[in-house]
Amino acid sequence: MNAPATLAEVRPDARTGELRSLDLIRKLVGFDTTSRDSNLALIHWVRDYLEGHGLTTTLTFDDDQRKANLFATLAARDGNATDGGIVLSGHTDVVPVEGQPWDTDPFVATFHDGRIYGRGVTDMKSFSAVGLSFVPEFARRGLRKPLHFALSYDEEVGCIGVRRLIADIVARGVRPAGCIVGEPTGMELVVAHKGKRAWRCRVRGLEAHSSLTPHGVNAVQIACEIVAYIAQRGRDFRDAGRRDEAYDVPYTTTHVGVIRGGTALNIVPRDCTFDFEIRHLPFDDPEDFIHDVRAFAARFLPAMHAVDAHTYIEFDHISTLPGFDTHDGSAITALGHACNATGDVGKVSFGTEASLFHGADIPTIICGPGHIAQAHQPNEWVAVEQLRRCEAFMRRLADRIAPA
């Protein structure tokens, strides 16, 4: 792109429509919060900002005290800080920029041609910035019920941080009536996403010269048999499984993403390892799937052990993210419709922290500016039009939770 303007140059421009969140977007994007690094500089800055507006804050840390979640509460007019009200939720971490061809500094929010570029502008600092930019107004108008902000660490590496934040608020007796997660949905209201489970399979065979294959146990070939079974299960879900057409991919999927095995063509390979996952609709049980995969794998063991007793097939659990499905008639969905001025809902295949709030009995919806297709990309961008829609959402939210 040529000669992008800085946000400061853009501010007086009518094209941005005087967005009130621009300063905060620029501020948050300016913190390099790549998941592997500390997010404390951002967290401390936001904590100070919120405390400056009268919110109470709690930090929950990772084991090394290098990263933290921030939970902040603006109490209602009557002092209520725990019962009811909603949570505005966003993760603070972003994916790496290394190896990506960026045309601008990824950590400087840059305006060009109706878009703002920068790492995290879509996934998902803009939603947090828009919410934070309305704090002075929420505080001035006064709330019927408490309003909470939940800013987490390590979402991009498995929704790790927010689990501690949720455990902490449950332990402290904070009982929000609903949660809005601002992951990029193009400001469409999303009420469900699939669950995901991932495992690693480790096949241990026995080496032999490749001219003597019956004397060895070929770990690569056995792994490939199991991989083929997982792929067949994926086709079965597609062709014969239950569907929910509201999802972008309307059936449960299986997938093998990494495989390693063998050292040379003339050696029967001793080891092969592969990673696989299932992304399941609410009515498909991932336990059934892994049970079947294990049972299929077990068929190979007698022949393997007949050659060598030390051979094995092991499965290691890597991660679990439950799915969620918030009833379309729920209060949080109705609030989402009112704030978004739409009646449509969507369901998506990518996982978010929404399922973890949902699992803690906090009804949750997802609605945020930008599109998932722009997330994790070089030159990540969000359209100013999306930010306008998000600010309009927040303005309507203010009218409902903080009537003047």
Catalytic residue among 123, 154, 155, 156: 155
**Integer Cα distance of 33 and 128 in angstroms:** 14
d(CA 117, CA 113): 10
Tokens (6 digits) for 121:
């502008």
Q: Which one, 124 or 169, has the nearer CB to Zn ion? A: 124
**Euclidean distance between CA atoms 383 and 376, whole angstroms:** 16
Give the burial class of 101: count Cβ atoms within 10 A of its Cβ; 0-12 exposed, 13-18 middle, 19 or more buried. exposed
The structure tokens 């290691």 sit at: 316
- Cβ-based nearer residue to Zn ion, 75 or 366: 366
CA–CA distance, 102 with 361 (Å, rounded to integer)? 41
- ∠ at Cα 88 (83, 91), nearest 5°? 130
Which of helix, strand or coil describes residue 318?
strand
Query: 18, 64, 83, 93: which is the annotated catalytic residue?
Result: 93
β 110-112/5-6 pair status: antiparallel
Instruction: Provide, rounded to whole angstroms, the least separation between the CB of residue 357 and Zn ion.
Output: 14
**248 among known catalytic residues:** no
Shortest CB 122 distance to Zn ion, Å: 8
Radius of gyration of the chain (CA): 24
Task: Supply 313's token pair.
Answer: 């097939």
CA distance 113 to 5: 9
Closer to Zn ion by Cβ: residue 38 or 352: 352
User: Shortest gap between Cβ of 124 and Zn ion (angstroms)?
Assistant: 4
Query: What residue type is assigned to position 163 of the chain?
Result: R
Which secondary-structure segment (H or E) carries 346? Answer: strand 346-348
Instruction: State the DSSP string of 189-240.
Output: -EEEE-EEEEEEEEEE-B-EEGGGGGGSB-HHHHHHHHHHHHHHHHHHHHHH
Closer CB to Zn ion, 196 or 270, in the complex: 196
Q: Give least dist CB 183 to Zn ion, A.
A: 5
Which residue has tokens 């070929």?
218
- Residue number, nearest CB to Zn ion: 123
Spatial separation of the C-alpha atoms in residues 318 and 200, rounded to whole Å:
7
Structure tokens at 97: 């920029």
Residue number, 154 or 391, with CB nearest to Zn ion: 154
Cβ at position 91, least distance to Zn ion in Å: 6
User: Minimum Å distance from CB 155 to Zn ion?
Assistant: 6
Chain positions contacting Zn ion, by CB under 5 A: 123-124, 183
Smallest distance from Zn ion to CB 72, Å:
20
Annotation says 316 is catalytic: no
Nearer to Zn ion, 124 or 354 (CB): 124
215, 307 Cβ separation under 8 angstroms: yes
Residue with smaller CB distance to Zn ion, 45 or 350: 350
User: Would you please indicate which residues are annotated as catalytic (active-site) residues?
Assistant: 93, 155
